[in-house]
Amino acid sequence: MKRPAEAEPAASSKRARPDPQTVEALFKPDQRKKAADICRKGTDGTGYIEGKVFEKGSIAGDCWVFLLTAELGFRVQVSLAGNCSKYFAELPIAVGALVRITTRGLALEDLEGPKKALMLAKRFVWSEGVTIHVRNSKTGESLVDTWADSRLPPSPSTQMPHTAEPHNESEPTDSAPPFPMNTTAGQSHDATKKSTNGAISSDSLQPEVSTSTGAVQAVPVPEDAGDPPEDPHNPQSLPSPPPETGEGHTAHKPDSFPTTAPHIPTSSGDHTHGTAPLEELQNPATEGGRTVVRASNEAKAGPSKKTKNPKKLRHDRDRKLKQLRRAGKLGPSPEANVPNAQSREPSADDGEDYYWDAADTLPEDAFLENPEPEVATAERPAKSPSVAPEVKAEVGPDNAGREGAAAAPSGHVQVIASTDDPWESLRMGCVSGLVVYTPLAQLTAAPHMRNIMGVVESTGVIKPTKNGEYTVRLCIYDPTNIGTAGLSVVLFDKSERGLPRPDAGDILMLRTVQIKDFNGPCATGPSYKGWQWAVFHVKTGRMLSAPLDTCAMRYFKAEESEVKFCLRLGDWWREISSNAADFEVSFAHKSRYVRPHKAIADAEHEEYFDCTVEVLHGFRHENGVYTVFVTDYTRNPHVSPTQGEWCPPRLAPYVLRIEMWDSSAEVGPAMQAGEYYSIRNLRTKISSGGYLEGKMQEGEKITKLDEDQLEDQPRLAELLKRKVEWEAEMNASGGVHEFPHQLIGEAEENRHFKCTVEVVHISPKDDFTYLYVTDYTARTDLVPVAAHIAPSALADRVVRIELRDAQVDTARNLEAGDYIAIRNLRLRPSAGGPLLSGRLGGDQRLITKLNAKASGNAELRALLRRKEEWEAAQTRPKREGKRTAARAARHAAAEDASSAVRSRPRKGTPGQHFGSLQEVQASTACPAVFRVRARPVDFFPDDLRDCVVLRCTSCNETRVQLLPKTRRRCTRCDDAMDDETAVRAFFELWLRLADDEGTTLDVSVADERCSVLRDLSPEDVYEDEDAFAMLVARVRPLLGGLLDVRDGEAKRRPVGRDEEGGGAPWVDLTIGSWLPAGEEDTPDARAYVVLKHALCEDE
pLDDT digits (tens, 9 = 90+) for 754-801: 899 999 999 998 888 999 999 999 888 898 888 888 888 888 899 999
Higher pLDDT, 731 or 252: 731
Q: What is the pLDDT of residue 765?
A: 86
Query: Which residues are CB-neighbours of 166 under 8 A, at least 6 positions away?
Result: 20, 21, 155, 156
Q: Are 611 and 682 in contact (CB under 8 A)?
A: yes
Q: What is the pLDDT of residue 451?
A: 94
Amino acid at 1012: V
Distance CA 321, CA 384 (A): 10
Q: Band of the pLDDT at 977, cuts 50, 70, 90? A: low
Q: What is the pLDDT of residue 694?
A: 94
Main-chain dihedrals φ then ψ at residue 193, nearest 5 degrees: -100, 10
pLDDT in tens, 675-712: 999 999 999 988 877 889 999 988 999 999 998 888 88
When pLDDT is averaged across residues 636-656 and rounded to a whole number, the result is 82
Pairing of strands 532-537, 542-544: antiparallel
Side-chain-side CA neighbours of residue 1041 (13 Å): 14
Higher pLDDT, 87 or 614: 614
When pLDDT is averaged across residues 162-179 and rounded to a whole number, the result is 40
- At residue 626, does pLDDT exceed 90? yes
Q: Are 1035 and 957 in contact (CB under 8 A)?
A: no
Q: What is the pLDDT of residue 964?
A: 66
When pLDDT is averaged across residues 807-825 and rounded to a whole number, the result is 90
Side-chain-side CA neighbours of residue 459 (13 Å): 19
Dihedral sign from CA coordinates of 308, 310, 311, 316: positive
Amino acid at 650: R
Q: Residue 572 CA to chain centroid, in angstroms?
A: 29
When pLDDT is averaged across residues 822-840 and rounded to a whole number, the result is 85
Please give the mean pLDDT across all residues of the chain.
Answer: 72
Fold of 602-732: OB fold (Dihydrolipoamide Acetyltransferase, E2P) (2.40.50)
Q: What is the pLDDT of residue 1097?
A: 64
Q: What is the pLDDT of residue 676?
A: 94
274 DSSP assignment: B
- At residue 657, does pLDDT exceed 90? yes
602-732 and 902-1096 share one fold: yes
Distance CA 597, CA 612 (A): 8
Most confident of 66-70, 360-364, 764-768: 66-70
Radius of gyration of the chain (CA): 48
CATH number of 753-872: 2.40.50.140
Q: Band of the pLDDT at 328, cuts 50, 70, 90? A: low
Most confident of 59-68, 303-312, 422-431: 59-68
Dihedral sign from CA coordinates of 1066, 1072, 1077, 1081: positive
Distances (CA, A) of 797 to 753, 770, 772: 17, 16, 10
Class of domain 425-582: mainly beta
Distance CA 833, CA 784 (A): 12
H or E, element range at 580: helix 560-582
Q: Band of the pLDDT at 737, cuts 50, 70, 90? A: low
Distance CA 668, CA 626 (A): 6
| DSSP states along 638-668 | TBPPP--TTS-GGGGGGEEEEEE-HHHHHHG
- At residue 438, does pLDDT exceed 60? yes
Which of 939, 942, 966 is closest to 1038 using CA atoms?
Answer: 939
- At residue 961, does pLDDT exceed 60? no
Q: What is the pLDDT of residue 465?
A: 86
For the beta carbon of residue 896, count every other beta carbon within 10 angstroms.
15
370 DSSP assignment: S
Amino acid at 994: A
Q: What is the pLDDT of residue 322?
A: 72
Distance CA 781, CA 761 (A): 20
Q: What is the pLDDT of residue 1058?
A: 53
When pLDDT is averaged across residues 571-581 and rounded to a whole number, the result is 74
- At residue 476, does pLDDT exceed 60? yes
| DSSP states along 42-62 | ---S-SEEEEEEEEEEEEETT
Which of 548, 538, 550 is closest to 509 using CA atoms?
Answer: 538
Main-chain dihedrals φ then ψ at residue 735, nearest 5 degrees: 75, 10
Side-chain-side CA neighbours of residue 701 (13 Å): 16
Q: Band of the pLDDT at 858, cuts 50, 70, 90? A: confident
Q: Are 573 and 505 in contact (CB under 8 A)?
A: yes
Distance CA 661, CA 628 (A): 11
Angle at the Cα of 685 (from 683 to 691), degrees rounded to 5? Answer: 135
* Beta strand spans in 413-505 (E): 431-432, 435-436, 446-459, 463-464, 470-477, 487-493
When pLDDT is averaged across residues 999-1020 and rounded to a whole number, the result is 77
The full 3-state SS of 204-235, as one line of letters, equals CCCCCHHHHCCCCCECCCCCCCCCCCCCCCCC
- Is residue 86 classed as helix, strand or coil in its secondary structure? helix
Most confident of 319-323, 702-706, 993-997: 702-706
Residue 770, beta-bridge partner list: 763, 802
When pLDDT is averaged across residues 510-524 and rounded to a whole number, the result is 87
- At residue 881, does pLDDT exceed 70? no
Q: What is the pLDDT of residue 600?
A: 93
Higher pLDDT, 549 or 813: 813
Dihedral sign from CA coordinates of 592, 595, 596, 597: negative
- At residue 972, does pLDDT exceed 80? no
Q: What is the pLDDT of residue 670?
A: 92
Q: What is the pLDDT of residue 705?
A: 93
- Is residue 443 classed as helix, strand or coil in its secondary structure? coil
Distance CA 105, CA 78 (A): 13
Distance CA 130, CA 197 (A): 11
Distance CA 6, CA 258 (A): 9
Higher pLDDT, 212 or 844: 844
When pLDDT is averaged across residues 58-79 and rounded to a whole number, the result is 89
- At residue 236, does pLDDT exceed 80? no
Q: Name the packing angle between helices 881-898 and 858-875 (round to 10°).
A: 160
- Give the full edge-to-edge strand order of the sheet including 63-69: 106-110, 119-126, 75-80, 63-69, 48-60, 98-102, 131-136, 140-145
Least confident of 412-421, 520-529, 833-842: 412-421
Distance CA 274, CA 263 (A): 10
- At residue 921, does pLDDT exceed 60? yes
Least confident of 544-558, 611-625, 701-715, 800-814: 544-558
Pairing of strands 676-686, 692-696: antiparallel
Pairing of strands 521-525, 532-537: unpaired
Most confident of 13-17, 472-476, 1019-1023: 472-476
Distances (CA, A) of 116 to 40, 77, 112, 122, 130: 17, 12, 11, 12, 27
Fold of 902-1096: OB fold (Dihydrolipoamide Acetyltransferase, E2P) (2.40.50)
Q: Where are the domains of the chain?
A: 213-422, 425-582, 602-732, 753-872, 902-1096
Distance CA 655, CA 848 (A): 28
- At residue 60, does pLDDT exceed 90? no
Side-chain-side CA neighbours of residue 191 (13 Å): 10
Most confident of 267-276, 544-553, 700-709: 700-709
- Is residue 1074 classed as helix, strand or coil in its secondary structure? strand
Length of the chain: 1099
Q: Are 493 and 554 in contact (CB under 8 A)?
A: yes
Query: Which residues are CB-neighbours of 1049 under 8 A, at least 6 positions away?
Result: 943, 945
Higher pLDDT, 157 or 506: 506
Side-chain-side CA neighbours of residue 326 (13 Å): 22
Pairing of strands 435-436, 902-903: unpaired
- At residue 860, does pLDDT exceed 50? yes
When pLDDT is averaged across residues 154-181 and rounded to a whole number, the result is 40
Distances (CA, A) of 710 to 614, 670, 680, 721, 780: 15, 22, 18, 12, 56
Q: Band of the pLDDT at 1099, cuts 50, 70, 90? A: very low
